[in-house]
Structure 1
């Protein structure tokens, strides 16, 4: 099940006016401005659907990705989503924080996952990339979050070599990451 938008309504068998009438009748649910889902579908995370619909290249990052990988106990207030620098941050109805990452490093450690309850996929960074990002952006996520994620990752048997390889490719990640690894190993 893909979300219906006014621009794609014809593919789903709706005209623009019938799209709005279906919403008024309760056949469609408006999850965000210009994004509708069939009422009988129960998508579990509207934030993910809106992010993937607004920016197909978006990737879950920072605290949201660390939480997804169960590396921190923190429950983020908003969904942290990375888009390539130079892209416009879309206006959203959901609790999404848009982060702009350098296009040359955007795909490092990036994979995609399906969004439960829909046919959409969204990008997500690997645990190693998330930890490296947490250290390089520690002023934003907090040093404790980065340190705690690294401790948990090491406890689970994470390989420091893979983490260092990713840290070397990202600006401002190498030094704090190496210092933390030195203290923890």
Structure 2
């Protein structure tokens, strides 16, 4: 997105703000509430939901994911959403599948999010980071972890998702069934059915 003229009200303070910023961050940078609304009305910033804004001159990105990442720092793309990111399914979920450690508060978002609560003891296994812009990233489970989660939650996600993802994953040059099963040992409900699925497909 091209640059915009920031010489008007609050422009100097706006230039010191991150691409995505909160109401309190704007106040701390010297942008009054009145000037914040003026910047919005001038089209220099846009609202991403209650108390969260993004500069119009920031680079283009997925604003739904940016909002989700800012609302919950532990937010991690999982299940069908993660499998789609890794090219392991053609399904396009109506809502973004996002995992949080069990016990965490579910934030309110404008973005269409389906929240899932995972065991804190295994939450970090296979978790990587997906950069959204120079200042923001969101968690993303690896292909292997995403398959394991689909297996252990197959009663909700459906077995077809598991088999389709496994078939595609096995065609990859870097696919390692032994490594996949090694990760699955951390998830007792997934190891046996995953091993059985691999025996069918291999």
Can you list the C-alpha shifts for 1:88-110, whole angstroms capped at 9, x where unaligned? 11111111111111100000001
CA distance in 1, matches of 2:70, 2:188: 29
Tell me the CA shift for residue 51 of structure 1: 1.0
Query: What SS is found at the alignment partner of 1:4?
Result: strand
Q: Which residue matches 1:130? A: 146
Could you tell me how far apart the structure 2 residues matched to 1:20 and 1:88 are? 29
Which residue of 2 is the match for residue 61 of structure 1?
A: 78
Report the counterpart of residue 153 of structure 1 in structure 2: 169
Shift of residue 15, structure 1, vs aligned partner: 2.6
SS in 2 for 1:113: strand
Structure 1: 5+ residue runs without aligned partners?
none
Alignment match of 1:2 (pick from 5, 11, 19): 19
Note if contact 1:78-1:97 (Cα within 8 Å) is conserved in structure 2: yes
Structure 2: unaligned runs, 5 residues or longer:
1-17
Q: Give the number of aligned pairs.
A: 184
Is the alpha carbon distance of 1:169 and 1:71 closer, same or farther for their aligned partners in structure 2, counting shifts above 3 Å? same
2:127: which partner in 1? 110
Question: CA shift at 1:18, angstroms?
Answer: 2.1
Higher relative contact order structure (alpha carbons within 8 Å, sequence separation ≥ 6): 1
The equivalent residue for 1:164 is 181
Cα RMSD (Å) of the superposition? 1.5
Distance 1:44 1:3 in 2: 11
Q: C-alpha separation between the residues in 1 aligned to 2:146 and 2:19?
A: 28
1:35 to 46, 52, 77: 52
Distance (Å, rounded) in 2 between the aligned partners of 1:166 and 1:16 = 50
| Alpha-carbon distance in structure 2 between the residues aligned to 1:64 and 1:43 | 20
Distance 1:27 1:53 in 2: 20
Provide the secondary structure at the position in 2 that maps to 1:90: coil
Paired residue for 2:99? 82
Query: Residue 175 of structure 1 corresponds to which residue in structure 2?
Result: 192
Structure 2 length normalisation: TM-score?
Answer: 0.86
